[in-house]
Structure 1
Amino acid sequence: MPIYQAGALNTAALTAPDLYIQVVQPKTRYINGVATDILGIVGVASWGAVNSPMLIGSPGDAALKIGAQQVRKYDLATAVAVSIGLGASNIRAVRVTDGTDTAATSTLKDTAAAIGATLTAFYTGTLGNSLSAVLSAGTANSSWKLVVSLPGVSPEVFDNITGTAGALWANIVNAVNNGQSGIRGASQLVVATVGASALAPVALTQTVAFTAGTDGATTLTDAVIVGVDGAGSTRKGMYSLRGTGSQVANLVDVTDSTQWPSMLTYGLSEGCYVVTQGPAGASYATVSASLNTAGCDSYALKVMVGDWVYWYDQVNSQQRMLCPSTFSAAKIAALAPHQSPLNKPLTNVVTTQRNLAQQPYSLAEIGAINTARLDVITNPCPGGSYFGHRSGLNCASNPTVNGDNYTRMTNFLSLTLAASFGYVVGQLQTVDLRRTTKSTISSFLQILVDQSMIGDPNGGPAFSVQIDATNNPDSRVALGYMQADVQVKYLSVVRYFLINLEAGQSVTVVVSAAPR
């Protein structure tokens, strides 16, 4: 009684009489949508891998992986702190440098002041200057113990290291770099290299500090933050977010409009909504002119007016002016994809440049900002006296695709379908394959209807899926094509609520007998 997986047995060419079992996979498939809350942030930091996305979900993660926030331009930790405060808890942080970053170092010496081992911080950056190491007597007789410490992180202890003279230093280096089998792994704080010493350590207890770590932030430009594309380790800046699933991206403090076309192109290719802004203090007319000159007219880019936002930095105990994209991108990522940030409160905003100057926007200016394909954070909003977005638009001129919700839902649907139907390639195009594929897509879209994420408030159908002979003629099927035509109706965001009020002593009120 042989058992086969379905498709492995040629059932039209059996010769031996027997019972044959074919394991058939369930024909009904279900798919789940891809994550839409992943926020990519690119900036400068005092710790962490360079041009490599790091997963951050909490303030503790941020402190451990990129260091504390600093008062400077392009600061990654600051943007992460703001984003977490707005509910973004699935962050991919990319640290960039100008190439001058260095790792902090320290040395352990012998009785002749020669170097026994050099300890180098695992990453470049000024956070490495907070490292310290203590070499002392180990727990076992005639052994040594090395403890590497970084504030806020559990100390790394390498105990019971034995050996004499040069062998001892080699064993210390080996323990740090490779770990101690069955006891602890390799250090995640430092890398060790052996020195030239052939003598014992200088004293029973030796404490050393680390110095010379730098962030590589002195000559950073917007172009460095945007980076360059390539394969593997050649990717830098924004392009390091490729493949991370980030559906919203914030390049911290980038204002150079000549970089916007590159940001737009990246957003289209990755299904990512890139948020940027004009320079601090730039009016909507100035930013609009820059947008038109850049030639960016697509749903993949969102441009904020140069009305920057004030936020209170509790770590540095001061109020700071930050780029609006940091707040906007975080809010968008924290919302479900069918939602718009329009008129939604931004709870951690203290004020903005215009509000601080007591120059609130007039309704005509808000209209001009919307017409210019821009957005702005200000107070008040239609819903009350709070800070929020006042347009909810991307930079597309087409009014049918210029809502933030269009960008988010389109990317969500595209990425979900792309991630779910790769198994179809290589299958035989049968009636069953068409039927199951259509059923799977329809089931997923029906879930979105049930969750009030898509639909027609006037009662029409929310979606349609077609995979049949009509859109798959023999001439195409013979060439290996199978085509699915999918239509989805998004829910509309209310932008203008009009109330017609007829009131007065002469008004005749007629009440309908039955609800309509």
Structure 2
Amino acid sequence: MPIYQAGSLNTAALQAPDLYLQIVPPKTRYINGVATDILGQVGVGSWGPVNSPMLIGGPGDVSQKIGAQQVRKYDLASACNIAIQLGASNIRAVRVSDGSDTAATSALKDTGGAIGINLTADYTGTLGNTLTASLVPGTAVGTWKFVVGFAGVTPETFDNLGAGLTGAALWAAIASAINNGTTARGPSQFVNASIGPSTAAPAATQTVTFTGGTDGASGVTDASLVGADGSMPTQRKGMYALRGTGAQVVNLIDLTDSTQWPSMVGYGLSEGAYMVTQGPVGASYSTVSSSLNTVGCDAYALKVMVGDWVYWQDNVNGQLRMMAPATFIAAKLAALAPHQSPLNKPLTNVVATQRTQAQQPYSLAEIGAINAARLDVITNPCPGGNYFGARAGLNCSSNPAINGDNYTRMTNFISLTMAGAFGSVIGQLQTPELWRSTKSTIDSFLLNLQQQGMIQAFGTQLDGSNNPDSRVALGYMQADVQVKYLSVTRYFLINLEAGQSVSITVSASPRS
């Protein structure tokens, strides 16, 4: 009795009498939505790969993978810690540099002072200057132990190295253990080694420190954050290094150059990402609005904050710092479910803004002008109370049907989910059964959203009525999907009639 997977047996050309069993996979598939909480951040750091996304899930990751937060423009560690405080804990951080960044180095020497091994930090940056390396007698007689220490991390230990070896062969064995690992452990995650000219024995006990690591941050500009695209991941720089990471909200830290906004829109539309930025420090809403109109960005993929920057308490450096508003709003968006709006939602780590610090609260007329200008602003109070929050909840589209933050987030969420779920349809024979199973999968996903209170209604058409033979014969299959989003309450009007002459009719029937 042969067993076949469905589709691998030509059932119209059987020759030998027998029982043929085909394994048929379930016709109804279920799909889960893509992650919507991934926040992309691009800035400068003191450690980690350049132009390569790093996964950051908490403060420990920030200090170990990026370095301590610093008081400087474009600081990646500061932006990541702000985001974590606001509940965004699924971050893809991209470090950029001006090209002058260098890796810290050190060397292990022999008894005569000649270099046996050159040591280089795995990444460039000043955090590499905290590295130390020790070479001491190993646990086993006639061996050596190499230990790498790094701030805040458990030291790496390579023990019992070079048994029976001397001179250049010993140095080569130690270097190989560092670069390739041993039977007891993997290679070093902090340093790499290269052999020096020494042919003598190592000094009996030595501990060296690393020096020369630089961040390459001083020459970074707004254009550096945007970077350059490429067909291969290794060619992508800055913002474009986030391609394929699933980051649905992106913050190019401290970027204010409006000429970069069109590139950000293009990236956001192609990747299904919501790009958040702002005007320069202190720039009024009229100035930022003029910049937005000048560059012609009228798209749901971009959100622009006015130049009313935010004060945040930096407990690491012990000072109140003025930070870009997009850093806070992008984090809040990533922390919220995609059908929610940041409008009137508390930003708990904001201490003040430039306007509130100057005791110049926004009037309702100004808030209205900011909304009309397709901008947003953080301020206090909010309609819900005396807390800091967003006062518009809008993207930069001039179309009122699609200009809500929730439109951008939900549209990207649903489209990316469907784009990633139905690649298996390609190559299958187009039959009514394929239509039925595909439609059922789409409907099941949307029904889950409806039952979770994330959408109001939906409709799907995938049958012969929208797939005529003339199109099917050319290989096309079309599904028409409609989804109605829940509306965000922006205006609440209460009509109050009060006074001594008001006539009120009271029902005589008892209340149920």
Residue 206 of structure 1 aligns with an amino acid whose one-letter code is: Q
| Match in the other structure for 1:133 | 133
Q: Aligned pair 1:9/2:9, yes or no?
A: yes
Aligned pairs for 1:63-102 within 5 A = 63-102=63-102
The letter of the residue matching 2:471 is R
Q: Deviation per CA, 1:220-258, whole angstroms, max 9, x where unpaired?
A: 100001100002211000000000000000000000000
Match of 2:356?
Answer: 355
TM-score (ref. length: structure 2) = 0.98
User: Which residue of 143, 164, 167 corresponds with 2:166?
Assistant: 164
2:477 to 482, 500, 503: 482
Cα deviation code 1:80-131 (max 9, x no counterpart): 0000000001000000000000000001111221111111001000000000
CA shift, 1:511, in A, is 4.9
Equivalences for residues 191-202 of structure 1 within 5 A: 191-202=192-203
Regions of 4+ moved over 4 Å:
511-515
Tell me the distance in 2 between the aligned counterparts of 1:8 and 1:397.
Answer: 53
- In the alignment, residue 49 of structure 2 is paired with which amino acid? A
What does residue 430 of structure 2 align with?
429
**TM-score, scaled relative to structure 1:** 0.97
Could you tell me how far apart the structure 2 residues matched to 1:172 and 1:421 are? 51
Letter in structure 2 aligned against 1:239: Y
Matched, 1:503 2:498: yes
% identical equivalent positions: 73
Which position in structure 2 is the counterpart of 1:105?
105
Q: Which moved further from structure 2: 401-410 or 152-161?
A: 152-161
Alignment of 1:219-230 (within 5 A): 219-230=219-230
The separation in 1 between residues aligned to 2:197 and 2:504, in whole angstroms, is 99
Give distance in 2, aligned partners of 1:201 and 1:429: 72
Q: CA–CA distance in 2 between the matches of 1:104 and 1:27?
A: 57
The more displaced of 135-144 and 69-78 is 135-144
Cα distance in 2, alignment partners of residues 439 and 143 from structure 1 = 66
Write out aligned runs for 1:13-92 (5 A).
Answer: 13-92=13-92
Superposition pairs of residues 315-354 of structure 1, within 5 angstroms = 315-354=316-355
Counterpart-to-counterpart distance in 1, 2:453 and 2:505: 34
163-172 or 394-403, which deviates more: 163-172
Equivalent residue for 2:121? 121
Aligned residues: 508
Q: CA–CA distance in 2 between the matches of 1:60 and 1:169?
A: 34
Question: 2 CA distance for matches of 1:443 and 1:486?
Answer: 13
Aligned partners of 2:431, 2:137: CA distance in 1, in Å? 73
Deviation at 1:473, TM superposition (A): 0.9
- Could you tell me how far apart the structure 2 residues matched to 1:290 and 1:514 are? 62
Deviation (angstroms), 1:510: 3.0
State the secondary structure of the residue aligned to 1:123.
strand
Q: 1:48 offset after TM fit, Å?
A: 0.2
Deviations 1:462-492 (A, max 9, x none): 1100011221111101100000000000000
| Residue number in structure 2 paired with 1:458 | none
SS of the residue 2:455 aligns to:
coil
Separation (CA, whole Å) in 2 of partners of 1:389 and 1:64: 32
In the alignment, structure 1 residue 302 sits paired with structure 2 residue 297? no
Say whether residues 1:472 and 2:467 are aligned partners: yes
How do residues 162-241 of structure 1 correspond to structure 2 at under 5 angstroms? 162=162, 163-181=165-183, 183-202=184-203, 204-230=204-230, 231-241=232-242
**2:290 aligns to what?**
289
- CA distance, structure 2, for counterparts of residue 294 and residue 304 of structure 1: 15
**Amino acid in structure 1 at the alignment position of 2:129:** N
Partner residue in 2 for 1:248: 249
Residue type at the aligned position of 2:157: V
Question: 2:202, 2:19 → 1: CA distance?
Answer: 76
Equivalences for residues 364-403 of structure 1 within 5 A: 364-403=365-404
Residue identity opposite 1:46 in structure 2: S
Give the superposition deviation at 1:165.
1.4
CA shift, 1:502, in A, is 0.9
C-alpha separation in 2, matches of 1:27 and 1:468:
16
- What amino acid is the match of 2:398? S
AA aligned opposite 1:326: T
Q: Partners in 2 of 1:13 and 1:410 — Cα distance? A: 48
| RMSD between aligned residues | 1.2
Per-residue CA deviation, residues 51-105 of structure 1 (Å, 9 max, x unaligned), is 0001111111111111111110000000000000000010000000000000000
Q: Secondary structure at the match of 2:386?
A: coil
Aligned equivalents of 1:213 and 1:268: distance in 2? Answer: 38
Change (3 A) 1:101 1:423: same
